[in-house]
Every structure is written in C-alpha cells, then in structure tokens.
Amino acid sequence: MKHDLNLRHLKAVALIADSGSSHAAAATAGVSQPAISQALKRVETQFGVSIFDRSGTGMRLNAEGLIVNLRIRRMFDALAQMRRRINGARRGQKAVRLENLVTMTHLRAVLAVANNRGFSAAARHMGISVPSVHRATRELEDIIGTKLFDRLNYGVEPTPLGADVARLSGLALREIDAAFEDLLEARGFERGKVVVGAQPLARTDILPNAIAELCRRMPEAEVEIIEGEYEILVHALRRGELDIMIGALRGKTRERDVQETPLLEDSLSIMARAGHPLAGRGDISVAELARYPWVIPRRGAPTRVHFEKLFDGRPPPGLVESSSLVVIRALLAASDRLTLMSRRRILYEEQMGLLTALPVPLHFTARKVGITTRANWHPTRMQGEFLTILRQQLDD
C-alpha cells in the first residue's frame, strides 16, 4: 500500500501532540507556525480525518488522532533504531540526523531493492522507473555515507547494514499502512488485512479453519497467505512483510525482535500407503523400517535431523529427498516408500484411507506448535481478532 506522506509532516503531528499547540511545535522544530499548520493540514487530508480538537487552551488529540499518533510514533521508533544502527556503523564519523533527511521514497526504494535483489525488479514492484530507484538508493547511501548494496553479476545483495536498513524501513512503512487500517476499523469498516506466513504444519487444518472463522465474523477481512520454509518466513516477518507466522516453533524466544507463543505439542509419525506390508503391524523394529525405501527432506531440515536420529546416523540407501507434500504423497501412494512427517499434514489423506501411520512411537520428535510475531508488534483490531481465533482453534 502506497501513501504519499511526508516524514517531516508526520513529525509535525507528533510535536503538536507533545506540546499542545502548533506555536510551540513550530518553536521546537525551528520553523514558522504557518509551516507547521500546513504540514498538519496535509497529514489530515491524507488520512481523511481531523487529528486534533482545537480550543482556546490548545490542541488535543481526538479519537482518530490518538490512532494516527500511536502509529506515527511507532514508525519513528523504527527510524530511531535505524539511526542507531547506522551511526553505530559510522564509528568515528559525525552522527547522522536521519529523520531530517530521509523520505518515504528512500524507505520504499531500499526495501524494494533488498526484497527483489535488483533495481529493475524493484522498479517494477514500485511502479516507477529504474533511474528513479537508482537515484533514491544512491541518495540514501549518500546520506548514510556508506553503501547499502553490493553490485553482483546476477543482481545486488544488501550489505549487513543494508539488510538492517531495509528491515527497519519495512517496519516503519507497515506502521503507516496499519494507521489507515485502524482508522477504517474505527469507522466500522472491517476491511483490514492480515498477512500470514504458513509453515507446512499449519496449512491443512489450523490455518484454513481460522481463516474461515475470521471471514464469518468479518466478511470483508482480507487474508494473504505466504508459504515457505521457516528461515524465509522469519526474515519476512522481521521486515514487516508478515504479521504472523504459524507452525513449528524453533525456540527463538531469546531473540529480542521475535516472540513465540506455543499453543500445542505435535510429534512426527512414520507414514505409508494404506495396505503397506508394515501397516497394522505391532512391534516394528528399526531394522524392518530400514528395509524399505524412504522419501525425506534434505539435510538441515528439522525432520531430517529426527530421521537421522531414528537410524542412528546410518539411514537406509536409495533416499529420495523432497519437502514437497505433492511429491511425497504421490511416491507413498505408488510404492512401499515411507516418510516421516506430522499427521496434521496428511489429515485428509488419512481420513480418506489413502495413507496410514505406522504404530512406531517417536517420542523424541515432539515439538511445540504455535504463533510467531514481532516482539513489539501492535496488531490492528482485525489482526487481534485473528490471533484470538487461532488460539481458540489450537486450544480446541
């Protein structure tokens, strides 16, 4: 969502809220009172609301103003983190007053280039020309005094500082989008949006059931589902591209910017086709399991770690490596191959009698399932409702 808001104008709103008058805000900012008043007028026009109640004693935030002010301050908090990160990288150099120099275009450009790994793709994403993207990122690099991207043969890669600047740009921009969503909800319009990162474990029943219930309660709610592996999704969450992640947790509670909420415990099972020679058998030994071919995720995946542990680091030969449920399901149905996965992932196949779980206890595979969010995330009302529904679904 693109909004043509000016950071200096948004800062003027925060100053008026702090001081209680446009005159005092102008004195603090070192500009004229008409300039502050004009900035406020433009912000109010962009948001389509009046932000302050005026009286003889000054200016006070009204209900809509409280919503806008909260999101503006959260946006500037993200920019303050960016400033600290940049100035930390500029050891021995004069500190940069980032908020006075950076524009929304700079933030959008660095985020788009980082996400799309190139200027042409970033320009298509933003709907502007390639030279405009080059100019915006070059201006930001000049402001910071260091490069944010390494130019490579196949495109660009953000430097460590560039990755942080892009991440915090995404968080800052997301707060402004959330302000518009909050205002719509305050007017009784339930047209907000939640972007969910879904790991494989959540896609079969947890997420569809929660979305169905959300849409029943809020018919105009929008939900975007982004599928992927954990590392890809958690990076998107940190950049503000996702609101929530659902799936197996990784114990990231010690990381300051990510918060995990465990809601249930799940374990892996050995799955086979219905009618498999081992189906229905009791007391199946590891040696018997090793006589059959397997399809299993690649090395490094959590399920692969459990698979290696099952066979004490000596897995059977002839492995097929895949994390695709479509491929795994087809291979199991067409052969005597086995796999290791959560029964939640093949819930419908098991209910229809196509696949079955072998009665082999795998207590060592127990893992927590739940929700991952940014630690300081402030959900909109609709996003909060979705969280409540998810908790209810998983508690049930």
pLDDT tens digits for range 3-43 = 778 999 999 999 999 999 999 999 999 999 999 999 999 99
Instruction: Please state, rounded to an integer, the average pLDDT across all residues of the chain.
Output: 90
Task: Please tell me the predicted confidence (pLDDT) of residue 254.
Answer: 54
Q: How far is the C-alpha of 328 from the C-alpha of 229, rounded, in Å?
A: 16
- What is the DSSP secondary-structure string of 282-302? SS--HHHHTTS-BEEPPTTSH
Task: pLDDT band for 98, please (50, 70, 90 cuts).
Answer: confident
Task: Please tell me the predicted confidence (pLDDT) of residue 255.
Answer: 64
Q: Among the listed ranges 66-80, 149-163, 291-305, 382-396, which one has the minimum average pLDDT value?
A: 382-396
Amino acid present at 268? L
Q: How far is the C-alpha of 331 from the C-alpha of 310, rounded, in Å?
A: 21
Task: pLDDT band for 394, please (50, 70, 90 cuts).
Answer: low
Q: How far is the C-alpha of 16 from the C-alpha of 37, rounded, in Å?
A: 10
Q: How far is the C-alpha of 25 from the C-alpha of 23, rounded, in Å?
A: 5
Task: Please tell me the predicted confidence (pLDDT) of residue 99.
Answer: 74
Task: Please tell me the predicted confidence (pLDDT) of residue 306.
Answer: 93
The whole model's pTM is what?
0.81
Asked whether residue 335 carries a pLDDT value surpassing 90, the answer given is yes
Asked whether residue 263 carries a pLDDT value surpassing 60, the answer given is yes
Mean pLDDT score, 352-357: 92
Task: Please tell me the predicted confidence (pLDDT) of residue 1.
Answer: 56
Mean pLDDT score, 305-316: 91
- What is the DSSP secondary-structure string of 81-149? HHHHHHHHHSTTSPPP-GGGT--HHHHHHHHHHHHHTSHHHHHHHHTS-HHHHHHHHHHHHHHHTS-SE
**pLDDT single digits (tens) 125-169:** 999 999 999 999 999 999 998 899 998 887 899 999 999 999 999
**pLDDT single digits (tens) 199-250:** 877 777 888 889 999 999 999 889 999 998 888 899 899 989 999 999 888 8
Task: Please tell me the predicted confidence (pLDDT) of residue 89.
Answer: 86
Task: pLDDT band for 325, please (50, 70, 90 cuts).
Answer: confident
Asked whether residue 96 carries a pLDDT value surpassing 90, the answer given is no
Classify the C-alpha dihedral 329-335-341-347 as positive or negative: positive
Q: How far is the C-alpha of 93 from the C-alpha of 331, rounded, in Å?
A: 60
**59 and 21 in contact (C-beta within 8 Å)?**
yes
Task: pLDDT band for 395, please (50, 70, 90 cuts).
Answer: low
Amino acid present at 285? S
Q: How far is the C-alpha of 184 from the C-alpha of 386, rounded, in Å?
A: 17
Task: pLDDT band for 64, please (50, 70, 90 cuts).
Answer: very high
Task: Please tell me the predicted confidence (pLDDT) of residue 345.
Answer: 84
